[in-house]
Each structure stands twice: as C-alpha cells, then as structure tokens.
Amino acid sequence: MPEEPNIFLKGINSLLGHEGTILIPGRPGRIDYEGEMAVVIGKRCRNVPEAEARHVIFGLTCLNDVTARALSKKDARLTRSKSFDTFCPMGPWLVDSRETGGRDIQTRLNGKVVQSSNTDKMGFPVPRIIALISRFATLSPGDVIATGTPAGIGPLRAGDVVEVEIEGVGTLKNHCVGEAP
C-alpha cells in the first residue's frame, strides 16, 4: 500500500453520462474498467483538515475510471491513460449526501459481478483524500474526486455492458463500442 493515494487529472473530454457509450480505441491495447465512488465538492476550500472534510462534500455519484492499462504502466503519470474520450462515465445522478462510509460497491460486466467491496475497505478514507488534495490545490464547487477502485479490475471490449452500483447512490450503466481507427 502506498503512503499516499496516486493523484492524477482526467480531461473534461473523458466525461460521459449514464447510458453513454464508452469508445474502446484500437490502440493502445487493454482498456480496463475501475468502478469507484466519486465525491463532488460543494464549497471552495483549501487546506481542509481531515476532521472537517465532510463539510466540503456536496454529494456522491458512481464513476467508472476507465484506463488504458498499457499506457498506465508505461507513462510516469496517469493522465494520458485515463483521459481518452469517454473514459470517465459518471452518474446516473448526484446524491445529496456526505456519508461516504459503509456503502457496498459492485461492478458488473455483462451481468457478472467482477468487483465487490465496501467503501469502508478503501485504501484511503475520503476525508484523508480531500485533506491531501486541498493541501496543494484549491478545490471548487463541482470538482469531482474519484476515490479508488476495489480489487477485480479487468478488460473492456466492444459489445460489453459495464455497470457500477453503489448502495444508496445508484447504478451507472454504459455500453462499449470499438472506436473507428
């Protein structure tokens, strides 16, 4: 387990909504799903203590942190491997809650459960993640923080249907198609 979470940015071009289509590029090789809980910031903040982090959360949503695995292993930074068009599906809605703990999280690929855990088992608690990021960057309303994926990541292919379900938040569903070269 690393000392701190790996922090990276995803381009706005990667955003995709519920029932949107994930484009699977012909290159750069394996493309993986990563079901995650996302925290949406509700207040402008900087240097937030862990004990106060809940107070800057606006709400929660489901997120699939789609990743070009070969690039994530090749590059020193993760931005390229995670910022392809459509590589950040979120939704289906934003739940007005600051309670991030104790939620079951499950990813299904073509109806089969491939990830199953609980947010209490996350490598880093949400308040610690918010505190860490706010030490070097001012967070603004609408900023989205993906909080990490459970074990069980795996490849996506054209024709797949991937769902990320979080207890009390909802189920994000997306279809995958091959991108034209």
Mean pLDDT in the chain?
A: 94
Domain count, the chain: 1
Would you say residue 181 has pLDDT above 80?
no
- The answer, as to whether pTM is greater than 0.85, is yes
The reported pLDDT for the residue numbered 94 is 96
Would you say residue 124 has pLDDT above 70?
yes
Task: Give domain status of residue 179, yes or no.
Answer: no
Cα separations in angstroms, 42 against 8, 103, 147: 20, 21, 16
- For β-strands 67-68 and 31-33, DSSP reports them as antiparallel
Task: Give domain status of residue 116, yes or no.
Answer: yes
- Min mean pLDDT across 37-41, 52-56, 176-180 is at 176-180
Task: Give domain status of residue 105, yes or no.
Answer: yes
27-41 pLDDT, tens digit each: 878 999 999 999 999
Task: Give domain status of residue 17, yes or no.
Answer: yes
Task: Give domain status of residue 6, yes or no.
Answer: no
CATH number, residue 59: 3.90.850.10
Task: Give domain status of residue 2, yes or no.
Answer: no
Would you say residue 170 has pLDDT above 80?
yes
End-to-end CA distance of the chain: 38
Rounded percentage of the chain residues whose pLDDT exceeds 90? 83
91-121 pLDDT, tens digit each: 999 999 999 999 999 999 999 999 999 999 9
- For β-strands 15-16 and 88-95, DSSP reports them as parallel
Give the domain range for residue 53.
12-170
**107-122: buried (b, 16+ CB within 10 Å) or exposed (e) per residue?**
bbbeeeebbebebeeb
Task: Give domain status of residue 145, yes or no.
Answer: yes
Task: Give domain status of residue 181, yes or no.
Answer: no
pLDDT band at 76 (very low <50, low <70, confident <90, very high): low
pLDDT band at 72 (very low <50, low <70, confident <90, very high): confident
> What is the mean predicted confidence (pLDDT) over 69-94?
87
Q: How far is CA 41 from the centre of its chain?
A: 14
